[in-house]
Every structure is written in C-alpha cells, then in structure tokens.
Amino acid sequence: MGVTVYVEGWHQQAYREEKVYQCDRYPNLTEADFASSGYPVDDDGRHYVNERVYDEPFPCMEFGCIQWGAFSESLGLASSDGTGSLEAGALRAVLARALRLLNSSQRQAKASTPATKSGNMITFGSTAESVARRAEEFVRLLKFAIDRNRGIYWG
C-alpha cells in the first residue's frame, strides 16, 4: 500500500490524446506479438494505445505508508489513517516547514525510517538523503499548488 499526494484539480488538467505504438514502446517485440493483445490496430497494421499527454502536468508524489507517516509527521500533517487535505490558504505554513526540513540534516535524519522485516513483510525504510530528495520534490509540489491557488490531498 502507498500514499499519493496530489494537487487539487489534477483530473481537470488540459491534455491531448496521443497514439503510442506498442512496437516503439517495446522494440524487442514484433507486431505479431501484439496480435492477440486486444490493442487497437492502426490503418497500417500497427498496434497502439492512446495516452494522455498533459500540457502542464500537475505534480504528484508516491510514498510507502511508513515513509509517508514519518515524512508527514515531520511536517505536522500526520493523520491516523494516512489521508488528508489542505486548502490553498494553509499551504504557505506547510511550505515553511517543508523548507526547514529541506535545509536541516537533523530534521531529515529524524524523518528517515529504518528498514524492518517481520515474517515475509519487508519495509525498506528511508535514509536522510532520500528524505531530502522527497522534501525538495514536496516543496516543488507545494509551490505549484500555491501558484495556482489550489489545495493538496493525500491518501
């Protein structure tokens, strides 16, 4: 399981449909390999899928539940069920906390999580360096939302 953090209105983004040919995506396969795949076939016999290409993609982030728990706690966003939202007006305060996390190796170390193993369940944990990278990515997401007066959601 994981947690996705996204900007409000992501499903309303401007986009265009673009054909992506399967043989271009998978150059080691031939058109015959896709014959029974169910993909539509172009007039020239090539299999394709239509993909959305966003004009200005909204950022989103994926976290493991344990990593999100430690990361969100360091920003004051922790919740018992791992879900939540913030209105646009509340984001500047979170941005300030995210910038403090980004610029403090002590805070990054505190937000990291150790790897654990319990039976056949393995949690890989996170290092202070990975927390720093995630904080940088989170700052970009927050700035994007603030610039567009949009909130954020996670779950």
Over residues 77-136, the pLDDT tens digits come to 988 888 899 999 999 999 999 999 999 999 999 988 888 888 888 878 889 999 999 999
Q: Are 74 and 127 within one domain?
A: yes
Give me the mean pLDDT over the 1-27 stretch: 88
Q: How far apart are CA 45 and CA 48, in angstroms?
A: 10
Over residues 41-77, the pLDDT tens digits come to 999 989 999 998 888 889 999 988 888 888 999 999 9
Question: Residue 115 — φ and ψ, nearest 5°?
Answer: -75, 145
Domain range spanning residue 99?
A: 2-12+57-154
Q: Are 84 and 107 within one domain?
A: yes
Give Cα separations from 3 to 41, 75, 89 (angstroms).
36, 15, 23
Matching residue, tokens 């990593």? 67
Q: Report the predicted TM-score, pTM, of the whole model to 2 decimal places.
A: 0.75
The predicted pLDDT at position 7 comes to 93
Domain count of the chain?
A: 2
Q: Are 114 and 81 within one domain?
A: yes
